[in-house]
Each structure stands twice: as C-alpha cells, then as structure tokens.
Amino acid sequence: MSFLQISSNVQKMKQLESSALVRTTNKIQNELRQGVVKPYKEVINVCWGDPHMAGVKPLSFVRQVLAACLYPQLLEGDKLLVDVKQRAQRLLKTCVGGSVGSYTSTAGIPEIAQRVSEFIQKRDGGVPSYPENIYISPGSQWSLAKILNILVNPEASPRTGVLTPVPCHITTVLSITGMGAVAIPYHLNEEQGWTLQVEELQRALEAAKGLCNPVALYVINPGNPAGHVQSRKSMEEVIHFVSEKKLFLLADEVYQDCVYGENVEFFSYKRVLAELGPPLSDTVELASFHSASKGFMGECGLRAGYVELVNVDPAVMKHIYTFFSTDSCAPVLGQIALEVMVNPPQPGDPSYLIYNKETQHIKTTLKQNARRIFEVINNLQDFSCQPVEGAFAFPRIYLPPKAIQRAKEAGMQPDTYYCTRLLEEAGVLLSPGCEFGQKEGTYHIRLFIMTPQDIMVELLKRLSTFHVKFIKEFS
C-alpha cells in the first residue's frame, strides 16, 4: 500500500512527541548495557501510565490465579492457598473446554460480566447495574474508540464534533481525528487545580458553531494527565449541561482507584446521574469506562477493560453489540485479571492478609509520592504544581526565553526540549505537556506517581539537580 492510498484522516494524525524520547531512551539503555559511563546507572521511566514499568510489583493473588489458570497442574500441589485454587477452578469452568486458550463470547465471559455488574452496584451505593449493558473489551481505549466509531459519521457535513479536555490523553484525540471527526477543545482551569467548569464547556460549544456538529462530551475523571478528581457539584453541572445540549456523555474513569488528595473522593458519573433522579437519570446517555491496567492491579499488558452503557436505546444497543462483535473477544487472561480486580479477596479468605498488605503498601506509598512531588516541585524556581489528587502530576515550567529559543533552533517544542535534556543528562523519562495539549505560551511535564518510594525519591533528586542547572544555563 502506498502512502497515497492511506486514509487522509490517518495521514493527518500527528506523531507523538514522546516517540523521539522513547527512541533516545532505547539508545541510552543500549549504551549503558555496553558499559558507556553516564552520570546515572539506569533510566527512570515514568513516561507511561504503566505501574509495573514504573517499578510497582504485581499483586500476588492476581498472578497466582493467572498462573493456575494458565497451567492447571499447579492446582494439584500444595504451593497455592485454597482460595487461589478455588478461584482458578471456578474461572476455568467458565472457559470453553476448561482452557484459557479458547475463545469466549465477544462481549466477554458472562460470569465475569456478572461480577463486573456486582462491583459497579456495590461501588455506586446500590444503584442497579445489569450485565447485558456491560461489554468486556481489550482495554478501555478499545471500547472508547468503538463507541466513538458509532457516534461519528465520517460522511457528515458539517463534521461530527466531540468535546475533549485540554490537557487530554493524546490517544483519544488521535482516535477522534483519525475517524474524520473534530476534537473540540475545552480547557481545564489550572489555577483552580485543573477543575472542569461548565462556563468553559459553553464557550467551547459556541466556538464550534459552524465548524462541526457536537454530539458528545468526553471527560476523564480522575484526570490524565492533570490528575484532578472532579467534585460531585462539578459532575452534577456537567450532567445538566449534556442533558440541555443533548450530548452523549463519555466518562473515562480508569483511574478511579488512584485518589490520594486530602478530602477528595471519587464518585462515578453513573452514581451521580442516578442520584439526581428523573428525568435526568432516565434520559442522559452515558458510557463509562474502566480497566484492569490501572489502579493497584496495573496489568497493562493483559489488555482488558469494560464499558457500561446507560440509557442507550435498545435498538441502538443491538447495533452496538453487532459492531463490537466484528472483533474477537478480549484476551482471556485479561478477563480473568478483570474478575480479580472487581472481586478481590475478602476478610476471612486465606489470601486476604497478603492482598491487603500489598494494596495498603501501594496506597501509602502513592500518598507519600503525591505529597513529596507537590512539595519538591513547588520549592524549585520557575516551577509550579497543583495539588496531586490522582495518578499523575502535571506541573508547569516557566521556561526562560533563551531556552525557548534554543528549543526552536533544535526543531522541538520547548517542553519536549526540556524533557530531552532531562533524559540525556539525568536519565529521567517524563512526558512533555505539549503532547496532551496546553494553553498557548504555557509548558508542562507529566509525572506518573505510581512508582516505589525509593525510585520517586531518586527521580525528584535527579530532576531537582538538573532543573537548577538548566535554569542557570538559560537565565
């Protein structure tokens, strides 16, 4: 296939800023393996939202159940606790032929969809959840892209529009533009802790008039990359807004287990919608997404998540299931990990003590990381960081004019230049803010905070030393 045969929408998709940084990282790591002397012995990589890549250890119960399902002979010995064996045996019975190597129904193993439904209902204080409205997918981004495919009419004139936050996880924006739709940017308020404000949604909608036909609002809560956790009041305002404007609400809630801010609590959009009552609870169309990749599980490589659909017309649901079924099922091991995520060991179970110990250790570490990042970065010259409430910090850098000029001469965005220098000189891989979108004239970096405490201490030490030298060089 020649380049000219590729869809024009795909051709318009820009390369990720982090791609060059990843290539540089691979080069540096090869040099370190060959014995090249550098000021550091290894690269600290917190560029991705990948807990295991960042050093978080897999949960024992999860891996033991997976191992037993993958190699059932382990069930015959005495190395596994009884509840691990029972869980693996029960899950294997849900697999065709008793094997994780078999296909499942395209919507996922029905028994696991039932467990997801029970988890949602418990999480939301008893708000009903129905398995037939849940689709288990190869990750949340897969199911989000599928829903967007249904909402977007590539032949429409004007084009379909989707309201998306700035800053925003870049893959969603790429998905929208790759389908021929328009990503309508609405800015989160950095000065007020990256809050979502309805006035800004209204401004974005007005700006889109004549350019596209807005059909949906995409929200990320807790935020990525900003890490903000929405207040209940803000969520209620958003629900009233989408109801008034007749927009489909897309709620990306994959970091719902990663909430560390003081006096901050996660509420799902489904719960807030239900508790607002009729007519809103009966009419606002909602798709909410979650994943086994995030939170304490962090099983990014197993590729499993789910979407729950609320208030979608039954006739449309049939088309959604038909469209989703054009692909094979989610990876079976990923589905099993998802089951363990929504149905972890309970008090009294043999595995509960170690599971609780491991998850509490992660929670404590991440709270300490959040506090430490906020304190260290705000003590550095020309840096400011909003309170860290979720899985990411997105501090702002006030780069000197000489540094901005040097970046332009190097053919880079200023914060990409900063991250490149940080990587090469200090061995720390972060994401530049320009990859996620930011107000013109502002620059940021994204830090993933889900990493062991000693690694975070070392990361902040290297960042601080580098930053002082960088600012001095260009001041």
Q: One digit per residue, pLDDT tens: the chain, 475 residues?
A: 444 444 555 445 455 667 889 999 999 999 999 999 999 999 999 988 888 888 889 999 999 999 999 999 999 988 999 999 999 999 999 999 999 999 888 889 999 999 999 999 999 999 999 999 999 999 888 889 999 998 998 888 899 999 999 999 888 999 999 999 999 999 999 999 999 999 999 999 999 998 999 999 999 999 999 999 999 999 999 999 999 999 999 999 999 988 887 788 999 999 999 999 999 999 999 999 999 988 778 888 888 999 999 999 998 888 888 888 787 888 899 999 999 999 999 999 999 999 999 999 999 999 999 999 999 999 999 999 999 998 899 999 999 999 999 999 999 999 999 999 999 999 999 999 999 999 999 999 999 999 999 999 999 999 999 999 999 999 8
Superfamily classification of domain 3-55+355-474: Aspartate Aminotransferase, domain 1 (3.90.1150.10)
How far apart CA 201 and CA 184 sit, in angstroms, is 10
CB 166 within 8 A of CB 185: yes
Q: Model pTM? A: 0.92
In the chain, CATH 3.40.640.10 covers 96-342
CATH of 61-95, one of 1.10.287.1970, 3.40.50.720, 3.90.1640.10, 1.20.1290.10: 1.10.287.1970
CB 131 within 8 A of CB 119: no
CA dihedral sign, ordered 10, 16, 22, 24: positive
How far apart CA 458 and CA 453 sit, in angstroms, is 9
In the chain, CATH 1.10.287.1970 covers 61-95
The architecture in CATH of the region 96-342 reads 3-Layer(aba) Sandwich (3.40)
